[in-house]
Amino acid sequence: MIWRPRADQLATAVTHPHSRWRPAVAAVPRHVFIPQWWTREEHGWSLHDGPADPDHWLDAAYADRSLITAVAGHHADGADPDHHPTGRPTSSATLPSLLIQVYRHARIGPHDSVLDVGTGSGYGTALLAQRLGDARVTSIDVDKYLVEAARERLSSLGRYPLIEVADATDAIPGVHDRIIATVGMPHIPASWLRALRPGGRLVTTLADTSLIITATKQGDGSAVGKVEWDRAGFMAARSGRDYPADATDQLAAAWTTHGDVKISPYPVVDVEQAWDLSSMVALTIPGVEHGYRVEHGRRIAVMAHPDGSWARASSTGPQPASVHQGGPRRLWDQLDAIRAQWLTTGELPVRGARVRIEPTGRTVLTRSGWHTVVKP
């Protein structure tokens, strides 16, 4: 299979000409790590078999896009073409430009040892090993199958980094100069600070946000850094085959349920497409889920939380939204409070915030009189 020209084109697309990552992207055959993948269709998720259609395989593998490799714990590898799973994606081959973006934030030196949190397909691990050498790369994933598949695929290329099954929110192996997560973390575990050498740097996103946190370990065992002005988003870390129960049922009910009624001072917003707003909401109300659609010119947004809180807002164009909400919390009221802060100050404070991670993992974000705490 002629893949090298494709890999070279991908390297040109996702790196600048003098990037130290350019040779790695050009040298790693991405298709090896994605023999099968899922795409979302109206009737559920549909399977794509790479070897059955080599041209389509190469087109997909060497495009700068993420490919879903597991849905609700169902791996694409070896799946029945007639199987159409439902649920959330649980693993993917991350788009290469996003991997390079995160690696740049890590400021990886040629002699640094790296812990790669979230092996996934193994492609990112391969890029790290290609640049740094096998001995400097450790990769972990909670999914035993993904670990075994990544080992096999890397070994087929003559690469043997250490890859282990581990829960990123629990104890992690070794001591490292860099810790890089390509999963969204609910919090920064204390184990990460213990596994990071003094002066070492960690890079992660917070689950359900687009916030990239970078921090350097201090002599007292804490780490200090910032929320980068850049943005990135990854699947949330999990501790099992699938994610735990969430607000899916409440979100479905929110489209039709009637509750307390109010008129918002603001029009409907598609929260998930407003990255800073959705990040603030996720920090303020962890676990909240969103939905959005347009019906006959009317925009409708819903919110729901596992505690039973829900909200539905609808409006036409820029008109103030009519809101129904119920449960123990008034979710749309909390959203409106965040939007009021945005309009008052001209921006939301989370991007660019200072970060301090205590040895316990307690993480404090502060900026311009605002602060929030992400607890372990």
Do both 17 and 149 map to the same domain? Answer: yes
Any idea which of 107-111, 236-240, 301-305 has the lowest mean pLDDT? 236-240
Residue 125 lies in a domain: yes
Residue listed under structure tokens 């090896």: 32
**Which CATH number fits the domain that encloses residue 268?**
3.30.310
Residue 86: pLDDT band (50, 70, 90) is confident
Give 170-203 pLDDT, tens digit per residue: 999 999 999 999 999 999 999 999 999 999 999 9
Query: Domain of 39?
Result: 4-231
CATH number at residue 140: 3.40.50.150
Same domain, 173 and 290: no
110 and 156 fall within a common domain: yes
**298 & 153 share domain:** no
Q: For residue 359, is it within any domain?
A: no
Cβ neighbors of 95 (< 8 A, separation 6 or more) are: 64, 65, 66
User: 184 in a domain, yes or no?
Assistant: yes
pLDDT in tens, 120-177: 999 999 999 999 999 999 999 999 999 999 999 999 999 999 999 999 999 999 999 9
Kindly state whether residues 16 and 103 are assigned to the same domain: yes
Position 92 scores a pLDDT of 95
* pLDDT for the residue 242: 61
Is-contact 198 362, C-beta < 8 A? no
**Does one domain contain both 331 and 214?**
no
The pLDDT tens digits of the residues spanning 261-279 come to: 999 999 999 999 999 999 9
Average pLDDT, the chain: 95
Total number of domains in the chain: 2
108 pLDDT more than 90: yes
pLDDT at 87 over 90: no
Judge if 35 and 153 occupy the same domain.
Answer: yes
Residue at 201: amino acid letter: R
Q: What is the mean pLDDT of residues 105-132?
A: 98
**Could you tell me if residue 376 is inside a domain?**
no
Same domain, 216 and 255: no
Q: Are residues 224 and 253 in the same domain?
A: no
pLDDT of residue 229: 96
Output the CA torsion sign for 12, 15, 20, 25.
negative
- Whether 255 is covered by a domain: the verdict is yes
The pLDDT, as a whole number, for residue 245 is: 62
How confident is the model over 39-52, as pLDDT tens digits? 998 778 999 999 99
Residue 112 lies in a domain: yes
pLDDT of amino acid 278: 96
